[in-house]
Protein backbone atom coordinates (compact mmCIF):
# COMPACT_ATOMS: atom_id res chain seq x y z
CA UNK A 1 0.00 0.00 0.00
CA UNK A 2 2.78 2.47 0.90
CA UNK A 3 4.70 1.96 -2.39
CA UNK A 4 1.51 2.61 -4.37
CA UNK A 5 0.82 5.76 -2.37
CA UNK A 6 4.38 6.99 -2.92
CA UNK A 7 4.09 6.30 -6.65
CA UNK A 8 0.83 8.25 -6.87
CA UNK A 9 2.30 11.16 -4.93
CA UNK A 10 5.35 11.14 -7.20
CA UNK A 11 3.20 11.30 -10.33
CA UNK A 12 1.10 14.13 -8.85
CA UNK A 13 4.24 16.08 -8.03
CA UNK A 14 5.53 15.68 -11.60
CA UNK A 15 2.19 16.88 -12.98
CA UNK A 16 2.09 19.95 -10.71
CA UNK A 17 5.66 20.90 -11.62
CA UNK A 18 4.89 20.50 -15.34
CA UNK A 19 1.78 22.70 -15.09
CA UNK A 20 3.55 25.48 -13.21
CA UNK A 21 6.56 25.39 -15.54
CA UNK A 22 4.31 25.32 -18.62
CA UNK A 23 2.33 28.38 -17.57
CA UNK A 24 5.52 30.34 -16.87
CA UNK A 25 7.04 29.34 -20.22
CA UNK A 26 3.92 30.35 -22.14
CA UNK A 27 4.08 33.83 -20.56
CA UNK A 28 7.83 34.44 -20.49
CA UNK A 29 9.51 31.84 -22.69
CA UNK A 30 11.67 32.55 -25.72
CA UNK A 31 9.75 31.73 -28.93
CA UNK A 32 11.06 29.32 -31.50
CA UNK A 33 10.07 26.59 -33.92
CA UNK A 34 10.81 22.89 -33.52
CA UNK A 35 10.55 19.69 -35.51
CA UNK A 36 9.22 16.69 -33.59
CA UNK A 37 11.79 13.88 -33.64
CA UNK A 38 9.84 11.34 -31.59
CA UNK A 39 6.93 10.95 -29.16
CA UNK A 40 6.98 8.48 -26.26
CA UNK A 41 4.20 7.97 -23.73
CA UNK A 42 5.11 8.01 -20.02
CA UNK A 43 3.36 6.56 -16.97
CA UNK A 44 2.57 10.09 -15.72
CA UNK A 45 -0.97 11.43 -15.94
CA UNK A 46 -2.42 14.92 -15.63
CA UNK A 47 -6.08 14.67 -14.65
CA UNK A 48 -6.22 11.25 -16.29
CA UNK A 49 -4.64 12.56 -19.48
CA UNK A 50 -1.36 10.95 -20.61
CA UNK A 51 1.90 12.88 -20.44
CA UNK A 52 4.41 12.21 -23.24
CA UNK A 53 8.11 12.87 -23.77
CA UNK A 54 8.46 14.70 -27.09
CA UNK A 55 11.97 14.93 -28.55
CA UNK A 56 12.49 18.16 -30.50
CA UNK A 57 15.02 19.80 -32.81
CA UNK A 58 14.59 23.48 -31.90
CA UNK A 59 15.37 26.52 -34.03
CA UNK A 60 15.16 29.68 -31.91
CA UNK A 61 14.49 33.05 -33.53
CA UNK A 62 17.99 34.04 -32.41
CA UNK A 63 21.01 31.87 -31.67
CA UNK A 64 21.99 28.31 -32.50
CA UNK A 65 19.60 25.40 -32.69
CA UNK A 66 19.47 22.64 -30.09
CA UNK A 67 17.69 19.43 -29.14
CA UNK A 68 15.38 19.14 -26.14
CA UNK A 69 12.64 16.92 -24.72
CA UNK A 70 9.28 18.45 -23.81
CA UNK A 71 7.07 16.65 -21.29
CA UNK A 72 3.53 17.49 -22.24
CA UNK A 73 -0.08 16.29 -22.14
CA UNK A 74 -1.38 15.14 -25.51
CA UNK A 75 -5.14 15.58 -25.72
CA UNK A 76 -6.96 13.37 -28.24
CA UNK A 77 -8.26 16.50 -30.00
CA UNK A 78 -4.67 17.76 -30.42
CA UNK A 79 -2.94 14.46 -31.19
CA UNK A 80 -2.50 15.44 -34.85
CA UNK A 81 -0.15 18.23 -33.65
CA UNK A 82 2.31 15.73 -32.17
CA UNK A 83 3.41 13.72 -35.20
CA UNK A 84 7.04 12.88 -35.95
CA UNK A 85 8.41 15.32 -38.55
CA UNK A 86 5.80 17.99 -37.82
CA UNK A 87 6.95 21.57 -37.25
CA UNK A 88 5.50 23.17 -34.09
CA UNK A 89 5.80 26.49 -32.23
CA UNK A 90 7.65 26.28 -28.91
CA UNK A 91 8.69 28.47 -25.99
CA UNK A 92 11.74 27.74 -23.86
CA UNK A 93 13.70 29.09 -20.91
CA UNK A 94 16.76 30.97 -22.16
CA UNK A 95 18.71 30.05 -19.00
CA UNK A 96 17.77 26.35 -19.15
CA UNK A 97 16.84 25.17 -22.63
CA UNK A 98 15.66 21.82 -21.28
CA UNK A 99 12.60 23.72 -19.97
CA UNK A 100 10.51 23.78 -23.12
CA UNK A 101 6.85 23.59 -24.07
CA UNK A 102 5.01 23.12 -27.35
CA UNK A 103 2.47 25.91 -27.90
CA UNK A 104 -0.86 24.31 -28.79
CA UNK A 105 -3.14 27.36 -28.39
CA UNK A 106 -2.94 30.34 -30.74
Number of domains present in the structure of the chain: 1
Q: 28-80: per-residue pLDDT in tens?
A: 899 999 999 999 989 888 888 889 999 999 999 888 999 999 999 988 888 88
pLDDT at position 8 over 80: no
Question: Residue 38 sits in which domain range?
Answer: 2-102
Cβ atoms of 46 and 73 within 8 Å: the answer is yes
pLDDT band for position 16 (50/70/90)?
very low
Q: pTM of this prediction? A: 0.74
Amino acid sequence: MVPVLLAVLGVLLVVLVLQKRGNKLLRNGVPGVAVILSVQQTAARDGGRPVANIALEVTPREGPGFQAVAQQVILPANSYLFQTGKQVPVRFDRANRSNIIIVTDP
